[in-house]
Every structure is written in C-alpha cells, then in structure tokens.
Amino acid sequence: MMAAVMAVIVMAGQTAPAAPMLDQLKNATYVGIDVEPVRLENGISEGKPFRPGGPTRPRVGLLPSTLVTGDLDGDGAPEAAILLWRASGGSGVFTYLAVAASRHGKVENIATVSVGDREQVRSLSIAGTRIVMDLVAHGPDEPMCCPTQKQRRTWELTGAGLKELPTQVLGTIVVADLEGATWTLKSLDGDTPLPAGVTVSLTVKNGRAGGTGGCNNYGGPIAPGDGARTLKVGPISSTRMFCAGAGSEVETTYLAALQAVFQFGFAAGDLVLTYKDGDGIRTLRYETSRPTPRRAPPPDGSF
C-alpha cells in the first residue's frame, strides 16, 4: 500500500515532456507524405531520381516559421504542429500538416494530413486542443495558379490521427486583408536574405502603403488591380536622408521593385509580392510581426 502511494507521489512530481524543438523536428521522420517514411536532415529530404540519372526527384522540406505548440490531446504535455511541403519537379507543391510529440526521449510524428496543392497558408495556430489554419484556397472553377478564397480549417487530434472539422469560407481575399500587421522584408528575390543590419518594412492602411526602405521612410497609394489578387503600388515618395552602404543600395532596388508589383499572395505565413524585373518575374517576401495567436481566432471571419 505504501509503495503504491509513493509511486503516485513520484508520478505526480514528474515534469511533463516538453514540446519538440525546431532542431529536433528538422531531423525527424514523418509518415503520411510518401509511400515510405520520410527522414529529414536539417529540414530537407531528397529522394532518388524518378529516372536513373534524371534531374527530377521527390523533395520534402520543413517550413520552420509555421511551428506552433500546445497540448492537443489534453494529457498535460504539449505537442508541436508544423507544416511540410512536397515537390516532385512539376508545378505542384503539396502542403502537409504534421503533429509530433516527445516520447521516451525521442521525437515521434504522431499524425500527418494533406492540406492541398498550392494552398497559400496565412497562419497556423493552436486554440485549446484544436489546430487552426487560415489560408487562401481555390474557390469553384479557379485556376491552380490563383486561389482567392479565404478559408479557416480546423483539426482535432484523436486516437486515429487528425480529424478535420467543417471548413469556414470567409469570402475573397482583398488588399484590405494586408492591414493590421507590420510586414518586414525577408528577401528581395526568392530566398536571398537582406544584408545584416538592414531593415525594410511595409504597412498598409486605408489605401496607402508605407514603411522604411532601408534608409528613408516611404509612402504611396496601394490599390487592387484588374484581376484577382492583382495589385498596383505607387507612385512612391520618400524622405531624403543620406545613408551610405548597403541600406541605400537595398532601398533603391526595393522601391523600384515595389512599384513594379502586380500580384500578392501568401506562403507559410509570409506575404509574397510578385513584380516584374525587365523580362523576368521576381518576388518580395515579408514576414509579419503580428504575434501568432494562441487563442481562438475571432468568430467574425477576420484574419
């Protein structure tokens, strides 16, 4: 009897395992993405070429900025939810939602579900025991390139895996949905980061865009274009403070790019503005300083 009481006391005094950390998730094994389990190394996995010596092969990667944690099964120990992508060399990029837990000193992927092909995720959060995703998805008859339908999708973790609840359709994405956040530029073109110490920002309010360009403050009109998710920015004006070095160079390039923007979208919580550069197409990619919500999103459909 005494031994049983002591065992209960010891169990009660134990600390619940912490949620898996990002570095652990970058090197974990995931199921439900391919026929065989996918083992990541530093956040990426490359499979064998589809044809011997061929250039295309399946690739899977982790999206670090989407990591959120919370107690999804109510056992007192938090789990981690994160997004992964899969590409096979074609135009499709498939998104997956994965849940992992710390068990017996190891990180275990306990559930994975497909989110879709080229879905544009705006945010991922945990509200109580539910995973909530705000995204821009394809409405009826919309081409794969250009989704515009705002959705809120929700999952619960069950003994059988992730169970999706009914999707909320929240209307069509518009320029005004960029308001309410300060967007900080991550790259001027794709994945190339800004030079160290240079900060470029964007805010949108009442038909105006503004922020800091790396040296000076700038501002100008921003308005919808002629089609879905199209955008017109400018003309832009700025203050004229002299700045030497990388900040000035970035600003010149950035303001020219911003005024050439023609489309906006989202990727893993980032804002992506697409612009023309001569005969080429490039992107400006921003992260938001708006904190990731840990509570339930507002019921009115706002993002």
Residue 111 Cα distances to 33, 107, 145, 260, 269, angstroms: 11, 12, 29, 42, 21
- Model confidence pLDDT, tens digit, residues 41-72: 999 998 777 677 666 778 999 999 899 999 99
Task: Report the pLDDT value the prediction gives residue 245, as an integer from 0 to 100.
Answer: 82
> Does residue 290 have a pLDDT over 60?
no
Most confidently predicted of 13-22, 187-196, 220-229: 220-229
Question: In this structure, are residues 208 and 186 in contact, taking their beta carbons and an 8 Å threshold?
Answer: no
Q: DSSP letters of 17-66?
A: PPPPPHHHHTT-EE-SSSSS-EE-BTTEEE---SSTT-S---EEEEEEEE
- Tell me the CA end-to-end span of the chain in Å, nearest whole number: 55
Task: Report the pLDDT value the prediction gives residue 9, as an integer from 0 to 100.
Answer: 35
Say which DSSP state 7 is in: H
Lowest mean pLDDT among 26-30, 88-92, 216-220: 88-92
- Map tokens 């992964």 to a residue: 84
> Does residue 140 have a pLDDT over 90?
no
Distance of CA 134 to the CA centre of its chain: 10
Cα dihedral 170, 172, 174, 178 sign: positive
Task: Report the pLDDT value the prediction gives residue 155, as an integer from 0 to 100.
Answer: 98
Question: Over the chain, what is the mean pLDDT?
Answer: 86
Lowest mean pLDDT among 9-23, 129-143, 176-190, 207-221: 9-23
Q: CA 25, CA 161: separation in Å to the nearest integer? A: 18
> With a threshold of 0.75, does the pTM exceed it?
yes
Task: Report the pLDDT value the prediction gives residue 303, as an integer from 0 to 100.
Answer: 39
Six-digit token string for 106: 């190891």
Task: Report the pLDDT value the prediction gives residue 91, as an integer from 0 to 100.
Answer: 59
Residue 179 Cα distances to 17, 147, 266, 303, angstroms: 38, 20, 14, 10
Q: CA 98, CA 108: separation in Å to the nearest integer? A: 10
Using alpha carbons, select from 86, 214, 88, 73 the residue that is nearest to residue 131.
Answer: 73
Residue 16 amino acid letter: A
- Model confidence pLDDT, tens digit, residues 86-132: 987 665 689 999 999 998 889 999 999 999 888 899 999 999 999 99
Give me the domains of the chain, ranges plus CATH numbers: 16-172 (no CATH), 176-288 (2.40.128.270)
Question: Which residues, at least 6 apart from 94, have a Cβ–Cβ distance to it below 8 Å?
Answer: 85, 86, 87, 114, 115, 116, 117
